Structure 1
């Protein structure tokens, strides 16, 4: 599967950080600030209540969107850290199975 570099961010989309202290880590978009910045969290180091504001130019958008995260954000306005960790771990397993 080819990874497309999308220009538009979507809630629940998984991203890989390209620049900064967290370079190489995978996060979930939990908020869109404007057309240049998003809020990301992974439920582990970056919790939902203290997300990281990140420039989209420093992110590589992955072709996977977590339906659980999107549904939770739409229904209640927040998502549990457990769901964020689950989404990140599911992507890691997906990426490892494609690498083999």
Structure 2
């Protein structure tokens, strides 16, 4: 599998009803699809399947969450929501 995305990457949806929404990559399905979560509408228990053609990297990687996902540790929806919210707050401050 040679996907351009990694677990813990922040992505932005570029197509569909959720266009412009931030998600966190929680699973690499294959070279064309990933599963993403926002910790709110699309929770970690039921992530959204997205074609990689319909997302773009936001240019940020959540290292700690990535490690949790790789090690099979429990990632809470609150952790994902907080990570995305903190990123957006930092972007607005720039």
* TM-score, normalised via structure 2 length: 0.90
Q: CA deviation at 1:21?
A: 1.3
The residue aligned with 1:38 is 34
Runs (4 or more) in structure 1 with deviation over 6 Å come to none
Which of 3, 7, 27 is the equivalent residue of 1:11?
7
Q: Work out whether residues 46 and 52 of structure 1, in 8 Å CA contact, stay in contact via their aligned partners in 2.
A: yes
**Counterpart secondary structure, 1:85:** helix
The residue aligned with 1:24 is 20
The RMSD of aligned alpha carbons is 1.3
Aligned length: 92
Q: Does 1:51 align with 2:47?
A: yes
Unmatched 5+ residue regions in structure 1? 1-6
Q: CA deviation at 1:78?
A: 3.8
Unmatched 5+ residue regions in structure 2? none
Q: Work out whether residues 7 and 70 of structure 2, in 8 Å CA contact, stay in contact via their aligned partners in 1.
A: no
